[in-house]
Amino acid sequence: MLVDFIKGFNYLLSGFKLIREPGLFRFVWIPLICNIVLFAAMLMFAGYGLHQFSAWIQHFLPHWLEWLKWVVWVLSFLFSAVLLIFISTFLVNLVAAPFNGILSERVLRHLNATDTIVPVSTFKSIPSAIWRQLQFLAYYSPRAVGYLLLFIVPIVQVIAAVLWFLFNSWVFTLQYLDYPMDLNGISIQQMKVKMREKRGLCLGFGSGVVLFSMIPFVNFLIVPVAVVGATALWANEFRRF
């Protein structure tokens, strides 16, 4: 399990190397620009919301508990930052989904793993790509709420952060593996079955996505890097599995 976990993590690292290939780098720009624009817009919105929330909380604090406002602000900031990262990543994947599909196709061609793929066209693939991303959102949202509620359950809240991390690692792998899987005509349900049989690889890859998503500026690149890394993961570990 640990060997597979490390191997999966390394596939994400390989994405940073592969996107520099001359034939692939030109397909990175659109997802990258989408990420920067959406993240900047959400950052301004989150900053305003955090300020209003902190002011609202401070209004209810008695004078002798005024020192708590800094604790509340720090906790609110950390929660907002993590939530911002995950929401912006999902929005970027939704907007840039058709272009991510083309990037995945080019990676498969670069790796000579095109034996079963269905070529994609930017405009023809838009409805299908967006529909699949909406399916992921429907899959993610209720489960995310359930995991977040664990943070307020006594005793269970001790391991809530670990469960939240693993859950997001799994979902991110599911989301990025979808691009090469879709090109090979594999449904989301079939993909889940394949992923469960290679759980260590998938959690290792997704853990890398979560960790790098939290690094400022690196998180701008994480969407195309994850698409490329997941495509390499598919080509080497799932294609003939």
User: In 3D, which of 123, 140, 237, 141 has the Cα closest to residue 180?
Assistant: 237
Mention every residue, 6+ apart, whose C-beta is less than 8 A from residue 112: none
Q: Which sign does the torsion angle of CA 216, 178, 37, 225 carry?
A: positive
Q: Which sign does the torsion angle of CA 235, 13, 8, 180 carry?
A: negative
pLDDT tier for residue 11 given thresholds of 50, 70 and 90: very high
Residue that is written with structure tokens 């609202």 in the block: 56
* % of the chain beyond a pLDDT of 90: 17
Q: Are 31 and 99 in contact (CB under 8 A)?
A: yes
CA gap 175, 49 in Å, rounded: 28
Tell me what pLDDT residue 12 has: 95
20-24, 35-39, 158-162, 229-233: range with lowest mean pLDDT: 35-39
pLDDT tens digits, 29-64:
777 777 777 777 766 766 666 666 666 666 665 665
Tell me the average pLDDT across 79-88: 64
Tell me what pLDDT residue 121 has: 45
Q: Given a cut of 70, is residue 162 above it in pLDDT? A: yes
Q: Which residues of 78-111 are buried (b: 16+ CB within 10 A; e: fewer)?
A: eebebebbbebbbbbbbbbbbbbbbbbbbbbebb
What is the separation, in whole angstroms, between the first and last Cα of the chain? Answer: 18
pLDDT tens digits, 102-148:
888 888 888 876 665 555 544 455 667 677 777 877 888 888 888 87
CA gap 29, 170 in Å, rounded: 26
CA gap 13, 122 in Å, rounded: 27
* % of the chain beyond a pLDDT of 70: 71
Which of residues 188 and 195 earns the better pLDDT score? Answer: 195
Query: Where in the chain are the domains?
Result: 2-31+98-238
- Write the DSSP string, 126-180: HHHHHHHHHHHHHHHHHHHHHHHHGGGSTTTHHHHHHHHHHHHHHHHHHHHHHHH
33-37, 176-180, 181-185: range with lowest mean pLDDT: 33-37
Average pLDDT, the chain: 77
Tell me what pLDDT residue 141 has: 81
